[in-house]
Structure 1
């Protein structure tokens, strides 16, 4: 089938990352995909070759407003439309669809693929119809699909070869190839926004046992640089290392190589879950603090122990304790929770499989 996936970038790495993983997974399963994205530039390093059309089965189009005249008319109509995170398709697509429907052609299966959440309402909303009541597309139906963490949701993105890749992975070899420390010291990867607790965590972890912190390029490294003057150096046991931009597989490898992973948004959270290592999630902040309930619902699903809940709340500025860093001994104890969560998710159908099944049902 031919899929059109529409993405308006808000959290640039997360939105792009989720959409690209979905495109690549669909293509691996024999589907044809066009990704329409308004800010595609990060794909240059995230998925080298994507912008040049070197990924079999996937075409990337910069979603300009307006689109070049005649572009939509020149393309084969799609069998499936995916609105990623609730964005509307380009107006040129809507106009073309109205003309085709009036001519008696079948519309695509039209899916609004929403943000994921562990909140209870997601199960109730998953797979609900959204009829179009007005305008030239009146009578058509969109469908809400929600990624999530339970069998009553759409599941999470998971490539079929992921367990085998993890099984064959050698962390020491990969770290050495990247010029990153591969010794016995515990390692943390840091991918975050700008958490107010960052300086306190680095300062307090620096008084714990010796450790290596692998800081990702971009906002995380900028955030560390912003608190640099507040961090002691000569007395700290914490060594910081900057990680260059990584491909999506490379980022997976980073997570598999660390004893603790700080992740943010949606894409990296899902990859941390598949890694099965202790992790802390920096949830995307919302102006009305709606992310607080979303975080608590996730921690409930995760069956997080008290120390992991406390750290999440401090890291996400829900609380402001004097002591934030729990200590490496406590962190290692979070591993059982992470592995149990991964096993629950592996028992569920992945998001791409569910999308394919839903489309087959509606067609």
Structure 2
């Protein structure tokens, strides 16, 4: 009995994803063959998941809004939901004072609604928002289809997790990625790879500061990137600059959106990961 293993790997923007896609791996038996299949952001990878529900949310805001209304409590969606600037916070735990302060200032310019998603960072986000007297709405856990619809309706999102990150990449709305922190801040290397793909200079400085763990030691690869960017190291100055940076991003939302949309259009051309995988299994795997 011969066995063919197709190893679907995790999502990364690092260049090695192009090289590993469809690369054969060694096994301990001649009867077992293994090949890697990489999700990704380039034509040399398998692309991202583009299921029907998500694609409809992407193209039909009315459909997305109705889906959200049918599945969430009416108290969550106020009457001015559609007319407000909608900010989502779905991040790992951190001190969000800089963000709450920036949102408070931004609220004098725009009618906003801040949504805090359930999960690891919710409590710390609520503490900062309450401290700066910023009104917010707590979100319940949602089914994936409803979450996708909700994400598509946001104007600016702070997201974590591979699923939400990949969805935001495809939606074309401005967002900041809170990457999963790793030892010696190696996640900075992965973050830098993504920033090199999306190519929006305005979000670079904030993205690096937002994802730093200043209490941790830094690996040489990450340290080299951070030194090249000449980022501040004093905590007080860091928080001040983070507020300045994110406030600027919020204020310049309209000019940022075309850049994010351009990136989403590029990766949509790579096709559906699921269809690409099935096509590979049907045409390339011997039976």
1:153–1:180 CA distance, 2 compared to 1 (3 A): same
Does the CA contact (< 8 Å) of 2:65 and 2:150 recur in 1? Answer: no
Which runs of at least 4 in structure 1 moved beyond 6 Å after TM superposition? none
Distance 1:140 1:106 in 2: 6
Equivalent position to 1:192, from 76, 91, 96: 91
Equivalent position to 2:19, from 124, 142, 155: 124
Describe how 1:58-137 pairs up with structure 2 within 5 A.
105-107=1-3, 109-133=4-28, 137=29
Distance 1:267 1:258 in 2: 16
Distance 2:128 2:100 in 1: 10
Range 112-121 or range 219-228, more displaced = 219-228
Match of 1:34 in 2: none
Is 1:259 matched up with 2:155? yes
Deviation (angstroms), 1:163:
3.0
Does the CA contact (< 8 Å) of 1:278 and 1:332 recur in 2? Answer: no
Equivalent position to 1:312, from 180, 196, 207: 207
Deviation (angstroms), 1:165:
3.9
Match of 1:93 in 2: none
Secondary structure of the structure 1 residue equivalent to 2:42: coil
Is 1:244 matched up with 2:140? yes
Query: Higher strand fraction: Structure 1 or Structure 2?
Result: 1
Equivalent position to 2:132, from 232, 240, 258: 232
Secondary structure of the structure 2 residue equivalent to 1:213: strand
Larger radius of gyration between Structure 1 and Structure 2: 1
Unpaired segments ≥5 residues, structure 2: 213-225, 232-237
Deviation (angstroms), 1:184:
2.3
Match of 2:223 in 1: none
Deviation (angstroms), 1:139:
4.6
Unpaired segments ≥5 residues, structure 1: 1-104
**What is the TM-score of this pair, normalised by structure 2?**
0.78
Query: Higher helix fraction: Structure 1 or Structure 2?
Result: 2
Distance 1:277 1:310 in 2: 19
1:194–1:161 CA distance, 2 compared to 1 (3 A): closer
Range 167-176 or range 118-127, more displaced = 167-176
Does the CA contact (< 8 Å) of 2:41 and 2:47 recur in 1? Answer: yes
Equivalent position to 1:206, from 104, 113, 136: 104
**What is the TM-score of this pair, normalised by structure 1?**
0.63
1:174–1:154 CA distance, 2 compared to 1 (3 A): closer
Distance 1:335 1:245 in 2: 27
Match of 2:118 in 1: 217
Query: Number of residues paired by the alignment?
Result: 248
Deviation (angstroms), 1:330:
1.7
Deviation (angstroms), 1:333:
2.3
Greater relative contact order (CA < 8 Å, ≥ 6 in sequence) = 2
Is 1:301 matched up with 2:197? yes
Match of 2:218 in 1: none
Deviation (angstroms), 1:159:
1.2
